[in-house]
């Protein structure tokens, strides 16, 4: 198909002048280079979806430069997706899909969700204090930067179909929808303990668990990134459910260690109560953090699966009993949610197969109601299997949604080679060839179906897309087999009174395309010279075929 690309130097120059005037110096051009990453971009899918034209994007750039210089545009290279006002709040709190920034924040939050509880539980005294403290506060600093960026990034309001860049409106939406959770999850709690660092070790580590509030922003980042890369929703939900299951078990394991210690003392870590499961197993005196974590994760899995407890790990203390009750309840909810997600995932990837099975069930009921013979039922089922390849879809509905140009492109992809193989269609203009292809109608013939009968007047020709047919003379003698890409019956297009000189029978299930004479005549009528050439070739072929049959 013809592709058009707008490489006009004049247009490109005018778009560049939006950012910087021709008289700008080196510093101005450098500033414009960095500024373009925060302005509406022609490469943004959201800009193409909502603004739809280069003129609209140019208008957004001018409006951005004149009134909102310090705001990040939601359709910029820095913000490659929209923030939509009417979607749920967890997708709102971040003001735009920032492709690279969101990827960084996903990695940051994921690392924090794994490291924070583990360090709080099994390295309370921070034996390697400086390195973990630096890493921890670096992650929190990135989260604080994310809050600032959220206040500075616009969003697309679908209700009014406008890009909102007003700072007060942006701040108001963010404060209402997600700021509180981001603030709690990003607060540098270590600052509270600078002067009492070694006095309140347990309290310091427990407060660091406020990082868990960043899970809401994490959900937003991953959801937008999945939409940007057009990940199937069922697959995304399945993978995210597995991820959150792992995180839940990890936090549960760490809390099994933190809570018994925090109940005893919020200052320095002290041995839990004698009845605690930690003392029962003898883990307190174990110097291996990996061994401690291993016992905790086994207990977490056992609680989640409702499979009882390991030897000497039964909940005996009050705080442990409360923990087990809470985690039993959450485990039940998570298990039900996981089953629902798994079923949704497999239903999503097999939706067309399930629809096909449902269609076969309806078909079976219909055939039973009509009391069709078993042989006819089997042939109908074979037709369905060949037609849909065990995956049900409604082609007329799909094609009705597409534009005429796209329907034509699909037809040309499927049938162009078939038509070009016909001798008298060689060297036809592309526009005429496309019109002929658009007239083709698909038909399916089962094994032993009679497609055309000898000595009858024909009104169409056939193109073989898939399958094999046998050609028989008037006397019933088999002449040859025709396979994929072949054609027959073309004489009927130009000779209305000519009778079929052979019969054609399907050797196996075949998919053919039919071109009717009336449609072809209307299409070729504006080209009288082509019509005469095609007619001459057809008559010559008919005469040769008649001579061969008489021999």
pLDDT digit string (tens) for 317-351? 888 888 888 888 888 888 888 888 778 777 777 77
Tokens standing for 237?
Answer: 């939900």
Specify which residues 481 forms β-bridges with: 470
Tokens standing for 298?
Answer: 């086994």
Tell me the percentage of the chain whose pLDDT exceeds 70: 85
Query: Is it the case that residue 69 has pLDDT exceeding 80?
Result: yes
Tell me the percentage of the chain whose pLDDT exceeds 90: 21
Q: How far is it, in rounded angstroms, from Cα 445 to Cα 411?
A: 20
Q: How far is it, in rounded angstroms, from Cα 518 to Cα 541?
A: 21
Query: Is it the case that residue 10 has pLDDT exceeding 50?
Result: no
216: confidence class by pLDDT, cuts 50, 70, 90: very high
23: confidence class by pLDDT, cuts 50, 70, 90: low
Angle between helices 318-349 and 233-264 (to 10 degrees): 170
Q: How far is it, in rounded angstroms, from Cα 68 to Cα 166?
A: 7
549: confidence class by pLDDT, cuts 50, 70, 90: low
Mean pLDDT of 144-163: 86
CB 83 within 8 A of CB 155: yes
Query: Is it the case that residue 248 has pLDDT exceeding 60?
Result: yes
CB 361 within 8 A of CB 355: no
- How many CA atoms lie within 13 Å of 207's alpha carbon, on the beta-carbon side? 15
| Sequence-ordered alpha helix ranges (H) in 68-192 | 99-122, 129-152, 167-177, 179-186
pLDDT of residue 247: 94
Q: Give the residue among 511, 486, 318 at the shortest CA–CA distance from 417.
A: 486
Per DSSP, 42 falls in state: T
Helix, strand or coil, per DSSP, at residue 228: helix
pLDDT of residue 413: 80
Cα angle 398, 403, 407 (rounded to 5 degrees) comes to 65
503: confidence class by pLDDT, cuts 50, 70, 90: very high
Q: What is the pLDDT of residues 293-321, one digit of tens each?
A: 998 998 888 888 877 766 667 777 888 88
Mean of the per-residue pLDDT values of the chain: 81
Mean pLDDT of 384-390: 82
pLDDT of residue 349: 72
* Range among 135-139, 381-385, 528-532 rated most confident: 135-139
Higher-confidence position of 543 and 72: 72
Mean pLDDT of 504-514: 93
Sheet of strand 510-516: strand arrangement? 441-445, 510-516, 460-466, 487-488
| CATH number of the domain located at residue range(s) 415-550 in this protein | 2.60.120.10
Listing DSSP states for 71-102 in one string gives: SBPTTBSS--B--BTTS-GGGTSS-SB-HHHH
401: confidence class by pLDDT, cuts 50, 70, 90: confident
Q: What is the pLDDT of residues 41-65, one digit of tens each?
A: 777 766 777 777 778 888 888 888 8
* Range among 4-18, 419-433, 498-512 rated most confident: 498-512
Query: Is it the case that residue 114 has pLDDT exceeding 70?
Result: yes
Q: How far is it, in rounded angstroms, from Cα 312 to Cα 297?
A: 15
Among 157-171, 264-278, 392-406, name the one with the lowest average pLDDT.
Answer: 392-406
Among 164-173, 429-438, 449-458, name the one with the lowest average pLDDT.
Answer: 429-438
Mean pLDDT of 4-11: 45
pLDDT of residue 95: 37
The overall pTM is greater than 0.85: no
- CATH number belonging to the domain at 232-393, selected among 3.40.50, 1.10.287, 2.60.40, 1.10.3470: 1.10.287
Higher-confidence position of 205 and 355: 205
Residues listed for the chain: 551
Query: Is it the case that residue 270 has pLDDT exceeding 50?
Result: yes
The residues of the chain that CATH labels 1.10.287 are 232-393
Among 102-111, 112-121, 130-139, 421-430, name the one with the lowest average pLDDT.
Answer: 421-430
Higher-confidence position of 376 and 225: 376
Higher-confidence position of 503 and 88: 503
pLDDT of residue 220: 87
pLDDT of residue 284: 87
Q: How far is it, in rounded angstroms, from Cα 70 to Cα 80?
A: 18
Helix, strand or coil, per DSSP, at residue 123: coil
Q: Give the residue among 79, 25, 29 at the shortest CA–CA distance from 50.
A: 79
Higher-confidence position of 72 and 512: 512
Q: How far is it, in rounded angstroms, from Cα 235 to Cα 524?
A: 50
The residues of the chain that CATH labels 2.60.120.10 are 415-550
> Phi, psi (5° rounding) for residue 236?
-60, -45
Mean pLDDT of 388-409: 78
Q: How far is it, in rounded angstroms, from Cα 332 to Cα 307?
A: 12
């Amino acid at each position: 198909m013809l592709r058009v690309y707008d490489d006009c130097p004049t247009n490109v120059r005018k778009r560049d002048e939006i950012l910087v005037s021709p008289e700008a110096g080196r510093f101005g051009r450098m500033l414009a280079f960095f500024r373009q990453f925060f302005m509406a971009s022609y490469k943004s899918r959201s800009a193409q979806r909502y603004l739809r034209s280069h003129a609209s994007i140019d208008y957004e750039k001018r409006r951005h430069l004149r009134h909102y210089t310090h705001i990040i545009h939601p359709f910029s290279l820095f913000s490659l997706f929209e923030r939509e006002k009417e979607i749920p709040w967890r997708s709102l709190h971040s003001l735009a899909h920032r492709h690279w920034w969101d990827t960084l924040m996903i990695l940051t939050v994921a690392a924090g969700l794994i490291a924070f509880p583990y360090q709080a539980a099994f390295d309370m005294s921070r034996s390697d204090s400086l390195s973990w403290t630096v890493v921890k506060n670096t992650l929190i600093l990135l989260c604080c930067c994310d809050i600032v960026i959220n206040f500075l990034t616009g969003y697309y309001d679908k209700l009014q179909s406008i890009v909102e860049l007003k700072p007060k409106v942006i701040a108001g939406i963010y404060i209402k929808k997600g700021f509180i959770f981001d603030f709690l999850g990003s607060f540098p709690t270590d600052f509270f303990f600078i002067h009492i660092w070694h006095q309140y070790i347990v309290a310091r580590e427990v407060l660091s668990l406020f990082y868990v509030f960043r899970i809401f922003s994490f959900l937003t980042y991953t959801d937008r990134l999945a939409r940007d890369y057009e990940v199937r929703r069922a697959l995304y939900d399945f993978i995210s459910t597995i991820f959150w299951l792992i995180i839940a078990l990890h936090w549960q394991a760490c809390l099994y260690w933190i809570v018994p210690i925090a109940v005893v003392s919020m200052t320095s870590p002290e041995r839990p109560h004698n009845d605690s499961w930690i003392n029962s197993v003898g883990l307190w005196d174990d110097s291996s953090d990996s061994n401690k974590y291993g016992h905790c994760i086994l207990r977490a899995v056992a609680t989640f699966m409702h499979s009882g407890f390991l030897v000497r790990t039964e909940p005996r203390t009050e705080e442990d009993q409360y923990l087990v009750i809470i985690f039993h309840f959450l485990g039940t909810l998570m298990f039900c949610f996981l089953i629902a997600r798994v079923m949704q995932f497999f239903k999503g990837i097999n939706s067309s197969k399930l629809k096909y099975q449902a269609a076969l069930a309806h078909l079976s009921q219909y055939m039973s109601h009509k009391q069709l013979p078993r042989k006819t039922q089997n042939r109908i089922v074979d037709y369905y299997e060949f037609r849909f390849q065990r995956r049900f879809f409604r082609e007329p509905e799909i094609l009705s949604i597409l534009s005429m140009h796209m329907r034509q492109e699909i037809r040309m992809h499927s049938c162009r080679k078939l038509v070009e193989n016909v001798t008298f269609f060689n060297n036809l203009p592309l526009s005429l060839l496309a019109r002929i292809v658009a007239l083709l109608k698909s038909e399916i013939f089962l094994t032993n179906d009679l497609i055309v009968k000898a000595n009858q007047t024909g009104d169409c020709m056939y193109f073989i897309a898939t399958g094999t047919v046998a050609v028989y003379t008037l006397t019933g003698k088999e002449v040859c087999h025709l396979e994929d890409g072949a054609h027959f019956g073309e004489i009927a297009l130009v000779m209305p009174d000519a009778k079929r000189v052979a019969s054609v029978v399907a050797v196996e299930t075949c998919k053919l395309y039919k071109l009717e004479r009336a449609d072809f005549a209307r299409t070729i009528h504006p080209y009288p010279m082509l019509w005469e050439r095609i007619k001459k070739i057809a008559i010559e072929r008919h005469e040769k075929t008649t001579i061969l049959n008489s021999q």
